[in-house]
């Protein structure tokens, strides 16, 4: 278990709480019925699908648990989770098959 | 009889939102476990989950915290993950914008992937719904998951430290996120966004303070927007 500096942690919690609420409130609360420029919406549409893969990709290629050594079990599990999610559109099915692949291969390969 | 019909819309929303408990429970538990592993106290974990109320951003913040990222970058990155909430807020505004401010202020807190997804489908399908009916439906759609999400986080936080290292929980987060990404890749621009973001994130991994994530996210978004424009143009000319 790591230790996290208490002040840092609360700064992050409070900052994220206020920031997240601000993002949720900004349009429904402040903008009302005014329209937004299409180019803004066009970029907002792709934020989640850009940030999440960018966060994950380095963790898949250079996992923390293996001290950055590429790992067959983790790469395979990642591929399975992505492909199953893509085909079935079912998040839970993807999580379980991905986890199953990881455990299966970690067990087989040691 | 407006209140009666609002009530029935509340229960309609409740029914439509119920299947998502199968996402909220495991995801909440996982967050509790992961938060404890990162070193958060139970009070911090519960404050985090109840006030931020956005799984993906919470996970992202914890991951960066483990990598000793500076606080400012953690905040910026996790809020970037949550930018889609602003988009949901924008997209719900034409339907809920005429409700009283206190109701909108309350509804804003409850904007999550699930409530947005349920509501926008219903609002588009039934354009004659009144604003109180829409508000009731929206509220109904998050009622099943909110308490369970908080409870599951608590259970995970309590169980967290008892989970052995051999369970390879370090990889629970990548798998969970990848599983969420699959269904998001609905159109060609979405796929372009993800591919560009992945490529740039791998190329910028040496950039300090995890700034590579923000660079990759921005480049990915711009690629997605351009791909969308390109698709529209192609459709127009063919």
CA distance B27 to B39: 18
Contacts of B183 in chain A (CB under 8 A): 85-86, 89-91
Q: What is the ipTM of this complex?
A: 0.81
CB-CB neighbours of B94 under 10 Å: 14
Give residues with Cβ within 8 angstroms of B129, minimum separation 6.
B9, B122, B123, B137
Least CB-CB distance to B22: which of A9, A81, A92?
A92
Q: Tell me whether residues B23 and A85 touch, CB distance under 8 A.
A: no
Per CB-CB distance under 8 Å, the chain A contacts of B104 are: 25, 28-29
Q: Which residues in A lie closer than 8 A to residue B56 (C-beta atoms)? A: 48, 52
Residue of chain A minimizing CA distance to B85:
A24
pTM: 0.73
Inter-chain touch A47–B84, beta carbons under 8 Å:
yes
CB contact under 8 A, A58 and B202: yes
Tell me how far apart the alpha carbons of residues B150 and B53 are, in angstroms, rounded to a whole number. 9
For A71-82, what is each residue's pLDDT tens digit? 899 999 999 999
Q: Measured between alpha carbons, how far is A55 from A71 in angstroms, rounded to an integer?
A: 18
**Average pLDDT, rounded, for chain A:** 86
> Are A4 and B80 an interchain contact pair (Cβ–Cβ within 8 Å)?
no
* Pairwise CB contact (< 8 Å): A50 & B217: yes
Q: What is the pLDDT of residue A2?
A: 52
Mean pLDDT by 10 residues, chain B (238 residues): 76 88 82 89 94 88 87 90 81 86 94 85 87 95 94 90 69 80 88 96 84 88 95 88
**Residue B32: predicted pLDDT:** 92
Residue with tokens 């711009």: B222
pLDDT in tens, A24-61: 998 888 876 666 688 887 887 787 788 888 888 998 99
Helices B172-184 and A47-61: angle between axes, nearest 10 degrees: 140
Distance, CA of A63 to CA of A40 (rounded, Å): 35
φ, ψ dihedrals at B117, nearest 5°: -60, -45
Please tell me the predicted confidence (pLDDT) of residue A59. 87
Mutate to test the interface with B, among A1, A48, A76, A95 (most CBs of B within 10 A): A48
Q: Give B233 to chain A, closest Cα distance, Å.
A: 14
Give yes or no for residue A84 having a pLDDT over 60. Answer: yes
Cα A105 from Cα B99, distance rounded (Å): 53
Check residue A23 and give its pLDDT: 93
Q: Which residues 62-91 in chain B show a CB within 8 A of chain A?
A: 63, 65-67, 71, 74-75, 77-90
Q: Look-up: residue for tokens 């990548």? A: B174
Partner B, chain A 45-104, Cβ-Cβ below 8 Å: 45-65, 74, 77-78, 81-92, 94-95, 98-99, 102-103
pLDDT of residue B1: 44
pLDDT at A32: 64
Mean of the pLDDT values across residues A64-92? 88
Distances from the Cα of B138 to the Cαs of B12, B104, B107, B109, B115, in angstroms? 9, 11, 8, 12, 6
**Confidence at residue A65, expressed as pLDDT on a 0 to 100 scale:** 76
pLDDT tier for residue A3 given thresholds of 50, 70 and 90 = low
Q: What pLDDT does residue A1 have?
A: 43
Show me where the domains of chain A are located.
35-109
């Amino acid at each position: 278990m790591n230790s996290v500096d208490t002040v840092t942690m609360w700064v992050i919690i409070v900052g994220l709480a206020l920031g997240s609420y601000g993002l949720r409130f900004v349009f429904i609360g402040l903008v009302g019925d005014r329209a937004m420029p299409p180019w803004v919406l066009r970029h907002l549409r792709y934020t989640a699908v850009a940030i999440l893969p960018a966060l994950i990709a380095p963790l898949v290629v250079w996992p923390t648990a293996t001290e950055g050594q590429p790992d067959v079990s983790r790469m395979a599990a990642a591929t399975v989770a992505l492909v199953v999610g893509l085909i079935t559109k079912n998040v839970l099915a993807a999580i379980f098959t991905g986890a199953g692949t990881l455990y299966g291969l970690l067990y087989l390969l040691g | 009889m407006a209140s009666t019909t609002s009530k029935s819309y509340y229960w309609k929303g409740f029914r439509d939102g119920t299947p998502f408990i199968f996402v909220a429970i495991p995801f909440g538990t996982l967050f509790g476990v992961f938060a404890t592993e990162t070193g958060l106290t139970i009070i911090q974990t519960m404050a985090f989950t109840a006030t931020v109320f956005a799984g993906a951003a919470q996970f992202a913040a914890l991951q960066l915290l483990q990598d000793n990222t500076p606080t400012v970058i953690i905040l910026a990155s996790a809020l970037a993950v949550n930018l889609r909430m602003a988009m949901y807020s924008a997209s719900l505004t034409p339907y809920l914008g005429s409700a009283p401010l206190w109701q909108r202020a309350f509804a804003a807190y409850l904007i999550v992937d699930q409530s947005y997804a349920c509501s926008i489908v219903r609002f588009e399908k039934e354009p004659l719904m009144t604003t109180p009916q829409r508000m009731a439906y929206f509220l109904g759609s998050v009622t099943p998951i909110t308490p369970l999400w908080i409870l599951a986080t608590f259970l995970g936080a309590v169980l967290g430290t008892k989970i052995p290292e051999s369970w390879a929980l370090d990889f629970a987060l990548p798998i969970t996120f990848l599983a969420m990404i699959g269904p998001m890749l609905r159109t060609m621009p979405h796929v372009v966004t993800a591919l560009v973001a992945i490529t740039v994130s791998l190329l910028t991994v040496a950039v300090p303070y995890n700034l590579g994530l923000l660079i990759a996210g921005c480049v990915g978004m711009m690629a997605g927007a351009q791909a969308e424009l390109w698709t529209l143009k192609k459709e127009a000319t063919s």
